Amino acid sequence: MSTVAIDTILESTERTLSNIAAKVVEGVRVSDDDALWLFQNADISALGVLANYVREKKNGQYTYFNRNFHIEPTNICVFACKFCAYSREYKKRDDGWELDIEQMVNLVKAYDGTAITEVHIVGGVHPKMDVHFFGELLKRIKSHRRELHIKAFTSVELDYMFRKGKMSIKEGLQYLKDHGLDSIPGGGAEIFDEKIRLEIAGDKCDSAKWLEIHETAHGLGIRSNATMLYGHIETYEHRIDHMLRLRELQDKTGGFQTFIPLKFRNGDNDMSYVPEVNLIEDLKTYAIGRIYLDNFGHVKAYWPMIGRSTAQLSQSFGVDDLDGTIDDSTKIYSMAGAEEKVPVLSTDQLVDLINQSGRIPVERDTLYNVVKSYEGIENLN
């Protein structure tokens, strides 16, 4: 290739990047074509600059976290997603676990006297844990500790329990809200493209149902998050399609709080033949997610999945939330080969991790109300 041809390509690349950057600075929504170009052509440093601009425009130097713990009622599941290393079939339930209501309430009681603000409840789809079982659980938790925010149940869990309970989505969500449900997480979204979804998780609720559940929840005043499983057999176009559907629903309801890209891990599952993507791909996905989803307030990096060092770095690529203390209470990702085999950080450790990134740590509640700002506090250890 001649020098002239190379110069022409470089000029075209610079011109395209400049046009996209101008949109970002002017607050003009980037297009699907823009996002695809960024995935395929943009230098990672340029992506960092653009994503960080959006991040700081929305949230300044603040990086949020909360004090939370997880309850995973069971890993017994009626579904068999190829990417999942967590679940066990019902006929093999002796290899898994099933917690009863009393056991789960006791897990909540273990945090009595602590500053925990959220319990996150998700797990497998157990055929005998129905909407009334979970309604009773929520009621018992609220009866014991009313101020504790309950964020619970993926759309996959909700779809199954509502169908089994012969409830509409609205009826089911209202029932759970009346019993203590405060918000729902973003799990189960995986990837929305129907063909890819059918291949990796064909027996769980489809994309339209996932979106319908979240739209209905928003209509009932129940806030939610949104995830995207990336780095498996999907393409850049599939990631953009996924984010487009989220952006369109957010335009309609405004009910999403944060976008959470989740990295596919290939440990001990039926897709172990698929290699994991590298760090550059991780940062690229965070950055473009932040640039594209202009109507989302926050982008979260789930530190147990990607590890502490990558979580620190992600804050320069659009991320402004690192989830929470977790307290070694989740096995969903560690069983799939996540970076953090023992997912626990104290509040002091999280604050120091954020400080070391040059950001300001802010403890939040689930709805992003500030509990405590650590601005000006350099080190707690």
| pLDDT score at 84 | 56
d(CA 202, CA 200): 6
Spatial neighbors of 76 by CB under 8 A, at least 6 apart, are 87, 88, 89, 90, 93, 96, 97, 98, 124, 126
Cα distances from 87 to residues 16, 79, 278, 360, in angstroms, run 45, 8, 26, 37
pLDDT (tens place) for every residue of the chain, 381 residues total: 444 443 454 466 788 999 999 999 999 999 999 999 999 999 999 999 999 999 999 999 999 999 988 899 887 766 565 555 555 554 556 566 789 999 999 999 999 999 999 999 998 776 778 999 999 999 999 999 999 999 999 998 999 899 999 999 999 999 999 999 999 999 989 999 999 998 887 778 899 999 999 999 999 999 999 999 999 999 999 999 999 999 999 999 999 999 999 998 877 666 777 889 999 999 999 999 999 999 999 999 988 888 888 999 999 999 999 987 765 444 454 444 444 445 567 788 889 989 999 999 999 999 999 999 998 776 555
Q: Which domains does the chain have, with CATH numbers?
A: 3-44 (no CATH), 56-373 (3.20.20.70)
* Among candidate residues 321, 314, 292, the one with its CA nearest the CA of residue 24: 292
| Model pTM score | 0.89
| pLDDT score at 214 | 98
125 neighbors 86 (Cβ within 8 angstroms): no
